[in-house]
Every structure is written in structure tokens, then in C-alpha cells.
Chains A and B, each alone.
Chain A
Amino acid sequence: MKQLIKLLKSAPPTAIFGLLVIVVYVFVAFFAPVLTPYGESEIVGSEFEPWGEGFVLGTDNLGRDMLTRLVYGARNTIGIAFATTCLAFLIGGFFGLLATTLGGWVDQVLGRIVDVLMAIPTLIFALLILTILGTSIPVLIVVIAILDSTRVFRLARAVSMNIVVLDFVEAARLRGEGIWWVIGREVLPNSMPPLVAEFGLRFCFVFLFISALSFLGLGLQPPTADWGSMVRDNATLITYGDITPLLPAGAIALLTVGVNFVVDWFLHKTSGLRDEH
């Protein structure tokens, strides 16, 4: 605990800000039902009511409370982005470590598959697949996780490449340890710091990606509250100079900026690098 406080004291203001943002978002996501005055998709007033009495931030295009939707949006959007990132890391990390540990043709085949997948822009590829499979939450999670795992694969492979040639891995192999033991006990623990930092960056990417899909009407489907689709649904307000549609978009931006700040700090800490300045 003491160490934690000391660590926090040494953090730059940007990192503190980022941590604060993340804590607030997670809190809001967990306690969404307690914090909101109405139900997630409950219609409580007429359409596009202004800010003020009863509805702090007004109502949306169907007469649902904007504040309530925003809070539930935190839960849905962050939850799904988090699940997707975890899955992407499981897939990408597993195959990345497998490729370096086994080497040879396994490495070649996996590498070429990833090359081809990465040659198509992610958004275009995702839209192609969603055309056929349709948009449901599990499909969304799996498709984005697989597309995103290519980046994780590259990083996991690059990092562990330098580790599998080290003596202790060789020693473990000579002891006759199995492939899973070598991956799980020798290679993985030593590849952790860069992978953790990458997790933050990938989370931001996935989060922005899902929001973009929802904004296009191809992500989370109504009546689920989601920040991307909330921007889309209420976009007409902007032409009257009303900033309400910017709130969910701003909520997305704030979280990604926060995570980026924390990742930046973490990278500096673990790499032991000083600033280039």
C-alpha cells in the first residue's frame, strides 16, 4: 500500500489525470443502475427536450433520458471493448508465443496468414464480414478480436523472439520440459511489460473501432445504450448549435486520452528510458 502511494506520488500530472479518468469510468460502469434516475431504454419524455428540470442533459431522439443513456453507455461500450481486447490478447499472444517457441514452418505459416490479414484495412475487412454474419454482440466481439489479434501476434512474436534464444529457455528445453511449460513459465512472464502497455493501446483502438462501427449503425444495436450510436442518433441537434451529441463523443475521447497518458507513463517506468528531450 505504501509502495503504491509512493508510486502515485512520482507519477506525472498527466498520468494522475489518466488514472483518475479510468477510475471514474469504471466506477460509473459498475454502479450504472444506482446512479441513473431512469431505466436504460425507458421513454420518459418527449423527443429532444432541452437540458434542465427532470432531465439534466435533456432527452434523446426517442425521448429517453440522455444522462441515463450516457451512464449505461459507459457500461456497454467499455465492457464490450474490454472483453474484445482480452480475447484479442488471448488469441494473438497465444499464437505469437507458439510461433516463436516452435519456430520453423508453424512460424512461417502463422506469419504469412497475419501478413495477409493485415494487408486489408481493418475497418473495411470488419464491414465485409459483418455483412455476412450480421451484427450481434458475440459476432462483433469475435470478429474484432480476431482482426485485432494480428497486431498482438506481431508484438508478442517480436518480444518473445529475443527471449526464446536465451540460456534459461534452452536449459528448460534440455530438462525435457513440454512446450506449454516453456511458454507459460519461461517465455510469457518475461514478455509481460511490453504486452501490458500494448494492452492499453489496443484497448483504445478497439474502443474507438467499436464506437466507429456503432456510429455507422453497424455496431451495438438498439435499444442498447452505446456512445457511438448515441452520437449518430442525436447528430441533428448539432445543426441547431446544441452540444448534446458531443457529450458521448467527448466521453469516448476523454477515456482514450486518459488511457494513453497512463500507458505513456507505464512505458517510461518499465523501459527505464528517460525522455528524449
Chain B
Amino acid sequence: MTKILTMVAQRLALGLLTLFVVSLIIFLGIELLPGDLTEAVLGQSATPETVAAFRRELGLDLPPHTRYIEWLGGVLQGDFGKSLANEREISELIGVRFANTLFLAAIAAVISVPLAVTLGVLAALYRNSFFDRSINVVTLSSISFPEFFVAYILILFLAVNANIFPSISNVSADLALWERVYRVMLPALTLTLVVVAHMMRMTRASIINLLASPYIEMANLKGLSRSRIIVHHALPNALAPIINVIVINLAYLVVGVVIVEVVFVYPGLGQLFVDSVIKRDVPVVQASCLIFAATYILLNLTADVLSILSNPRLLHPK
């Protein structure tokens, strides 16, 4: 048991270290790259006085390490500084939007995870049948489609032709839960289609991998039905890789929302991020970048830890 705890602790420490290095890159990367923030914002025709005033206001005249420590200290207390574009507190801007993004990702996860596991189990159960083959072709193609293609096809069929869901998902804080779910349905479905393929294929592969093992043959010889063998005997043992791939896909969901949010004009963090990149609003870009990267790293870390914890050889050492 101590061995497993040390392994988890090691992973956590490594994750924290990665986060620290990433925050350094996000902050200092901007320093090291050619091109000056002042020039980017004010344009090349700015007078030396305005440039100096601007630099003083942002604290750009201080040495980098001082500014990094101040910035990191602020971030840890939830203070990301002010936006260059509209002078508002970034934490205010980001708070609601990040909650919206998480909401969208959560809805997509609630739909896609059970769907992917069920389809994977069914494909393993009816291996080599027409169902298995057609699902294989469909998932292979959906992996190769750009997100916006899937999104616009859904808009065309479900919003324009059939008029079931709204094509623009504008949500606000005062909406009731069901109304919110209804409005984010199309973006959630798009995300589902994008991630379900990978999860489903992994579920199928890890179950089929197990089907050759002796204890499955034993169950077969006992005369158990195919569905019972797969659901009761193979699935529990295939859970570790399945959980791992699910969490990795959840990490992808949080990042993949960027494009989907733009298509559906959804007021999430991804939309804000893209807008700020276009406006070159560096403090907002840094803040959103840090939040996205942190979410991604934390979810990948969770996948690592879960796969350690769900490994029976590590859990019950001899």
C-alpha cells in the first residue's frame, strides 16, 4: 500500500512541477519572443512618451522575475490583473465564462461517456457483424472531420431543416437548468460526436484483448451467454484502460470547446480566448491560457492516478 501511495505522490509532485514550468512558459515566453507588447498594442507610430507611460502602467519597466512573482502571487489569489481592451478585472470576465465552458463540457461528457461505453461493448459483443463494421467506418470518419464541419452539419439538419434546437446557444445566468441544457444541446452533440469515436474504439479494443484469456474461455466452457461473459467477466477487467481513455478525452473536451464555442457563439472561456488573441489582449490571453493548460494537466494527471489506482497488481501486492 505504501508503494502505491508513493507512486501517486510522485505523479502529483510531477504534475505540480509541470504546472509551474507551464506558468513560467506562459509568462516568460512572451518576453523571450521577438516583438514587444507595447509595440503590438500601441502600434509603431506611438510617441516615446506614450510608450514609457504604458510600460510604467503595466509594470513592464520592472525586471521579469519580479513581475513573474507578482503575477503568480496574484493568480494564486484569483487576481489575474486587468484586461488591456476594456480595463475590466480579468477574474470577473473569466469567472462566469469558465463556469459556462465547464457546463458545456459536462453536458457533452454526460452524453458521450455512457454512449461510447455502450457502443464499445455492443461492438465487441457483435464482433465482425454488419453493426460492428459500420460503426467502425463511421467512427473512423468522424475522427477525421474538422469540428466545425460536424457543427455546421448539425446546424443544417437539426436547427435549420428540422428546427428542433436553436443554432445559437446564448445562455445567461438567470436561465432555468432545463432551458440551459436545451440551448447547449447542439454544441454538446458536436463535442460528443468528436470524442465518442476514440472512447468507443478503445472500449472495444480493450474488451477484445481480454477475450483470448483463459478465464474467459473457462466462462465460455461453463456455457455462459456471450453478453454475460462480456458484461460481467471482461468489462470489469477492461475498466482501467477505459477509464484512462475517458479522462484523456475529457481533457480534450475542455480544449476542444474553443472552436465549438465560436461556431455556436457560446459565451464561454474559449470564445473570450479567441477574441483576446485577435485583439492581442495579452493579460487575458495569459490568464485563459493558464486556466486551459491547468485543466488539461489536472485531468491528465487524474487519468494517470486513476490508472495506478485501478491496477489490481498494484492494489493487491503479493
Chains A and B belong together in one complex? yes
Chain A interface residues toward B at CB < 8 A: 115-116, 119-121, 123-125, 127-134, 204, 208, 211-212, 215-218, 228, 231, 235, 238-241, 243, 245-246, 249-250, 252-253, 256-257, 260, 276-277
> Chain A contacts of B286 at CB under 8 A?
128
Confirm or deny: B145 has a beta carbon within 8 angstroms of a beta carbon on chain A.
yes
Q: Which of the listed residues A216, A217, A250 has the most CB atoms from chain B within 10 Å of its own CB? A: A216
Of B21, B146, B156, B282, the residue contacting A208 (CB under 8 A) is B146
Question: What does DSSP make chain A's interface, helix, strand, loop or mixed?
Answer: helix
B144 A257 Cβ-Cβ under 8 A: yes
User: A133-B33, A218-B277, A238-B156 are known contacts. Are A260 and B21 too (CB-CB below 8 A)?
Assistant: no
Of B22, B35, B149, B289, the residue contacting A127 (CB under 8 A) is B289
B4-12, B23-31, B239-247: which lies at the interface: B23-31
> Chain B contacts of A217 at CB under 8 A?
274, 278
Beyond A246-B156, A249-B148, list 20 extra A-B contacts (CB 8 Å): A116-B21, A119-B21, A124-B292, A125-B289, A127-B273, A131-B285, A132-B35, A132-B37, A133-B34, A133-B35, A212-B147, A216-B274, A218-B277, A238-B160, A246-B152, A249-B146, A253-B144, A256-B145, A256-B146, A277-B127
Interface residues on B, range: 35 or more
A149→B21 CA distance, assembly (Å) = 20
Confirm or deny: B235 has a beta carbon within 8 angstroms of a beta carbon on chain A.
no
A215 B259 Cβ-Cβ under 8 A: yes
User: A127-B289, A239-B160, A276-B208 are known contacts. Are A134 and B35 too (CB-CB below 8 A)?
Assistant: yes
A235→B264 CA distance, assembly (Å) = 11
User: A131-B285, A211-B146, A231-B148 are known contacts. Are A119 and B297 too (CB-CB below 8 A)?
Assistant: yes
Confirm or deny: B67 has a beta carbon within 8 angstroms of a beta carbon on chain A.
no
A127 B277 Cβ-Cβ under 8 A: yes
A218→B148 CA distance, assembly (Å) = 15
Confirm or deny: B51 has a beta carbon within 8 angstroms of a beta carbon on chain A.
no
> Chain B contacts of A131 at CB under 8 A?
276-277, 280, 282, 285
Of A115, A128, A231, A240, the residue contacting B29 (CB under 8 A) is A128
A249→B263 CA distance, assembly (Å) = 13
> Chain B contacts of A218 at CB under 8 A?
274, 277-278
A260 B156 Cβ-Cβ under 8 A: no
Of A134, A228, A238, A252, the residue contacting B155 (CB under 8 A) is A238
A204 B35 Cβ-Cβ under 8 A: no
A131→B141 CA distance, assembly (Å) = 32
B148 A215 Cβ-Cβ under 8 A: yes
Chain B interface residues toward A at CB < 8 A: 18, 21-22, 25-26, 29-30, 33-35, 37, 40, 127-128, 140-141, 143-149, 152-153, 155-156, 159-161, 167, 208, 255, 258-259, 262-263, 273-274, 276-278, 280, 282, 285-286, 289, 292-293, 296-297, 300
> Chain A contacts of B33 at CB under 8 A?
129, 132-133
Of B34, B148, B273, the residue contacting A212 (CB under 8 A) is B148
> Chain A contacts of B276 at CB under 8 A?
131
A-B contact pairs, 22 of them (CB 8 A): A116-B18, A119-B296, A119-B300, A120-B25, A125-B289, A127-B274, A127-B285, A132-B29, A132-B33, A132-B282, A133-B33, A134-B40, A212-B148, A216-B259, A217-B278, A231-B148, A241-B156, A241-B161, A243-B156, A249-B148, A253-B141, A277-B127
Of A216, A253, A276, A277, the residue contacting B149 (CB under 8 A) is A253
Nearest-CB residue, chain A, relative to B293: A120
A218→B300 CA distance, assembly (Å) = 27
